[in-house]
Amino acid sequence: MNSFKISWADTLWAVRNLILTVTPSWLLKFYRKMRAKPQRFKDVNLEVIRDFFDFKVIDFKYIDTTYQYDLKWDWWSRVYEYELVLNKLRELNCLPNSLVHNTCWGFQGCHVLFKTELEAVYSQVVNSDLLPSNIANTVTHDLRESCPDEWLGKFDFVINVSTIEEIKYPHTKIIENLLEMLKVGGFLIATFDLPGLQLEMVEKLFGRKIQLVSNPVTGRTSPYRMDQFDYLKVGYFVIQKL
């Protein structure tokens, strides 16, 4: 059953990439902007913001082309994002036995490579995704739902790489669902594309504007150049649960 599902997931991924390749960038940009409209899920976002966990914003900014990258990650934004996440884990003193949850991990290519590298450094990693996989040490979980009881307040670090903006749901609620998995003092490290993230609502939640950079990474400015994504920029945030 799992092999059928992963085969279906691979097919879905291939079709998605084909659509992205053949669709004009202006149309993709228009679609992204429509999805990220500030009024989208506005009422629910505001309700979530009014009754939110205590947390501290460590970083909230665009990724600059001067940041460390590695072309082995094989995607315009991933060449920066995965390097940034690994560096942040080291900077925040993630220990070999720290509990790490790699959410929305993916299921092929650079996703598997990142999962493998993460597990080579940290011995207690959970990898979850909406789609099932027959790859070892993976489980299914939908970030639109609260986490299972056994994950509440469990992890030292929770990671989410470039997925929040893809979920058709109030993004502040997704962030809340990610934070509930953390121990007090734990860190959430997330990256995202813009347009895509419900930025106005996330800025309201964080109480600050996203920090600008001189040379933001786009599909055109990335060393792994993919011009069809020249309309996208990539950002990240790190927040600590208090």
pLDDT (tens digit per residue) in 191-221: 999 999 999 999 999 999 999 999 999 999 9
161 or 14, which is more confident:
161
Each domain of the chain, given as residue ranges in start order, spans 2-241
79 or 23, which is more confident:
79
Could you write out the DSSP letters of every residue in 166-205? GSSS-HHHHHHHHHTTEEEEEEEEEEEEETTS-HHHHHHH
Query: Given a cut of 80, is residue 32 above it in pLDDT?
Result: no
Burial class, 142, CB count within 10 angstroms (exposed 0-12 / middle 13-18 / buried 19+):
middle
CA distance 124 to 101: 9
Q: Which of 45, 54, 50 is nearest to 186 (CA)?
A: 54
Provide, for the chain, the percentages of residues in helix, strand and coil under a 3-state DSSP scheme, each rounded to the nearest 5.
Answer: 40, 25, 40
pTM of the prediction?
0.88
**What's the rounded mean pLDDT across residues 106-119?**
95
Q: Which CATH number fits domain 2-241: 3.40.50.10260, 3.50.30.30, 3.40.50.150, 3.40.640.10?
A: 3.40.50.150
Q: Check residue 19 and give its pLDDT.
A: 62
Q: Check residue 1 and give its pLDDT.
A: 40
Q: What count of Cα atoms within 13 Å lies in the side-chain half-sphere of residue 3?
A: 0
Return the bridge partners of 173, or none. none
